[in-house]
Amino acid sequence: MNPTSPMNPTSTTIVSLGGSLVAPAQVAVEFISQFRDLVRAWLAEDSTRRIVLIVGGGAPARQYQNALKALEQHPTADAQDWIGIMATRLNAQLVKAAFGSDCANDVVTDPTAPLEWTSRVLVAAGWKPGFSTDFDAVVLAERFQAGTVVNLSNIAQVYTDDPKKNPDARPLEKATWKEFRAIVGDDWVPGKNTPFDPIATRQAAQLGLKVCVASGSDLNNLGKILRNQPFFGTVIQP
């Protein structure tokens, strides 16, 4: 299979870092260390580069949301969302601390609020109920005039359907936003596992953004994405 087209370079790169990479079951210390080393090496190549990392909730979000469902027969969507949001903030604080002086500013918890960014790395987390960290990434991409969002998770490519349920599902190298919306739908459900959530999808389509979906665990592939080289994954764009 041919690799996808590369992303367009910008001075600020937006990366949505899936919680499944940071905390798939236990905290992925080795992955965080290697990811940090890759980002630092990439930043060192060009002094104008900056990166925003929006961190997801991973296993802690799912575990606590499941606990709530066991304790409460009909938990509200807001209650489930707040648990997920708090998990993203815990993971984001860890990632921020791992970058040390490269990430000197507070974790962003409201992508629309005034913020201070004085170093090379900025870390963000969940915002409010009804929105995922994918949506936060889209908001920050618009704010920093970045035309591309890099979406990293445990999904290497977008499929036409859930390959676990449909053996005829096909991987896609490219998709339009219209095609992708037909796959993920339009409704947000707390904890929903999609390559890019429906609310973020709608906003990204309106803005005409490009989203590069790739496996975050393949750090060599990620290096290609960051360096504007052909990579393995899926490109979603208008």
Q: What are the pLDDT tens digits along the chain (238 aa)? A: 344 544 444 489 999 999 999 999 999 999 999 999 999 999 999 999 999 999 999 999 999 999 999 999 999 999 999 999 999 999 999 999 999 999 999 999 999 999 999 999 999 999 999 888 999 999 999 999 999 999 999 999 999 988 888 889 999 999 999 999 988 887 766 555 678 888 899 999 999 999 999 999 999 999 999 999 999 999 999 9
Sheet holding 210-215, edge to edge: 121-124, 50-55, 12-17, 148-153, 210-215, 234-237, 174-176
Distances 76 to 61, 72, 131, 190 between C-alpha atoms, Å: 15, 9, 15, 10
Does any domain span residue 30?
Answer: yes
In degrees rounded to 5, what are phi and psi of residue 51?
Answer: -140, 140
Count of domains for the chain: 1
Read off the pTM: 0.92
- Domain hosting 153: range is 12-237
CA 188 and chain centroid, separation = 16
Return the structure tokens found at 153: 């998770």
Per DSSP, 154 falls in state: S
Measured on CA atoms in the order 157, 78, 131, 121, is the torsion positive or negative?
negative
| Assigned domain for 5 exists | no
| 226 occurs within a structural domain | yes
**pLDDT number for residue 185:** 81
Strands, DSSP E only, in the chain?
A: 12-17, 50-55, 121-124, 148-153, 158-159, 171-172, 174-176, 210-215, 234-237
> Computed from CA positions of residues 159, 33, 87, 53, in that sequence, does the dihedral angle turn out positive or negative?
negative
| 5-18 b/e (C-beta count within 10 Å ≥ 16 → b) | ebbeebebbbbbbb
Q: Does residue 4 belong to any structural domain of this protein?
A: no
In this prediction, residue 197 carries a pLDDT of 86
Return the pLDDT at 152.
96
CATH number of the structural domain spanning residue 200: 3.40.1160.10
Residue 2 lies in a domain: no
Amino acid at 30: E
Question: What's the confidence (pLDDT) of residue 10?
Answer: 44
Other CB atoms within a 10 A radius of the CB of residue 198 amount to 21
> 69: phi > 0 → left, psi -120 to 50 → alpha, else beta; which?
alpha
| Residue 115 in domain | yes
In a domain, 55, yes or no: yes
